């Protein structure tokens, strides 16, 4: 039973007028490649960047990132 | 491919090209028994000039091609990847420094290591350090490229 960090950034971008990865990266202050890596779950951002992403979407951190059991299906 | 990754590829290829040529020349001079201190100094001078020229020129070219991303500094992921690369390189460089010290402390080793190369001992030690520093740089760049490719 492994827990992993997942996120809903792709969905949130879509819900925010199809915000581009570039726009989000500019707002957060990281490169577009870092946003790509975070979205794919290949990179776990620092708390500061995680809070900045949540701030861009004006929602709580736990609505962007979830620590949950790995979905093996 | 991101600007950072492209920049690392350029540095890696320039490094390999320059030092491959250097050691090729050294080998050629050694085989023709023309390897002297002056020849090595000239080759090292060429390496320095070529390194500056290639790095500056190629980095300017990729910055022009990818001018938007070139203006960004390193973000936290870039810094972490750089740190991992440096950590891997440090181990190998430490071994090289240790061997160079060992070689200096025990000069009799020169009869076993580089026995046919007719250069002062200081130059042999210098090349020992160069080889390990070169390998360390290659490991650093390769580690960084690996993490940029695989994701980090």
Q: Which chain B positions have a beta carbon within 8 Å of A37's beta carbon?
A: 77, 151-152
Q: Which of B1, B77, B149 to mutate to test the interface with A (most CBs of A within 10 A)?
A: B77
A33–B2 CB contact, under 8 Å:
yes
Q: Which chain B positions have a beta carbon within 8 Å of A31's beta carbon?
A: 2, 4, 69, 72, 75, 77-78
Residue A73 is predicted with a pLDDT of 52
Give B106-145 pLDDT, tens digit per residue: 877 767 766 677 778 788 888 889 999 999 999 999 999 9
Q: How does residue B31 score in pLDDT terms, banded at 50, 70 and 90?
A: confident
Chain B residues 42-81 with CB within 8 Å of chain A: 69, 72, 75-78
Residue B121 is predicted with a pLDDT of 79
Nearest chain A residue (CA) to B151: A42
Burial level of A53, CB count in 10 A (0-12/13-18/19+)?
A: buried
Residue A72 is predicted with a pLDDT of 62
Distance CA A34, CA A40 (A): 10
Cβ of residue B148 closer than 8 Å to a chain A Cβ: yes
Cβ of residue A32 closer than 8 Å to a chain B Cβ: yes
Q: What is the dihedral of CA B39, B42, B48, B52, to 10 degrees?
A: -130
B77–A29 CB contact, under 8 Å:
no
Among B75, B76, B152, whose Cβ lies nearest the Cβ of A42?
B152
A34–B76 CB contact, under 8 Å:
yes
B151–A31 CB contact, under 8 Å:
no
Give A34-70 pLDDT, tens digit per residue: 999 999 988 899 999 999 999 999 999 999 999 888 7
| The token pair that represents A56 in the structure block | 């861009």
Instruction: Answer whether A54's CB lies under 8 Å from A61's CB.
Output: yes
Go through chain B and tell me how many residues it has: 152
Closest among A12, A42, A15 to A28, alpha carbons compared: A12
Closest among A14, A50, A42 to B152, alpha carbons compared: A42
- How many alpha carbons lie under 13 Å from residue B96 in its C-beta half-sphere? 19
Give B63-101 pLDDT, tens digit per residue: 888 777 777 778 899 999 999 999 999 999 999 999 888
């Amino acid at each position: 039973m492994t827990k992993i960090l997942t996120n809903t950034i792709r969905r949130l971008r879509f819900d925010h007028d199809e915000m581009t990865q570039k726009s989000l990266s500019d707002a957060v202050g990281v490169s577009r490649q870092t946003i790509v890596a975070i979205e794919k779950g290949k990179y776990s951002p620092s708390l500061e960047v995680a809070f900045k992403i949540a701030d861009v979407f004006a929602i709580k951190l736990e609505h962007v990132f979830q620590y949950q059991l790995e979905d093996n299906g | 491919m991101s600007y950072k990754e492209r920049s690392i590829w350029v540095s890696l290829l320039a490094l390999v090209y320059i030092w491959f040529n250097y050691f090729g020349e050294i080998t050629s001079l050694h085989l023709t028994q023309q390897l002297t201190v002056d020849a090595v100094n000239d080759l090292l001078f060429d390496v320095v000039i070529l390194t500056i020229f290639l790095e500056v020129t190629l980095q300017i070219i990729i910055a022009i091609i990818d001018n938007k991303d070139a203006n960004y500094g390193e973000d936290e992921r870039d810094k972490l990847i750089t740190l991992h690369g440096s950590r891997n390189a440090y181990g190998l460089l430490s071994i090289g420094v240790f061997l160079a010290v060992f070689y200096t402390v025990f000069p009799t080793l020169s009869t076993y290591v580089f026995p046919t190369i007719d250069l002062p001992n200081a130059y042999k030690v210098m090349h020992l350090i160069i080889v390990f520093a070169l390998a360390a740089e290659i490991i650093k760049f390769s580690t960084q490229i690996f993490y940029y490719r695989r994701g980090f």
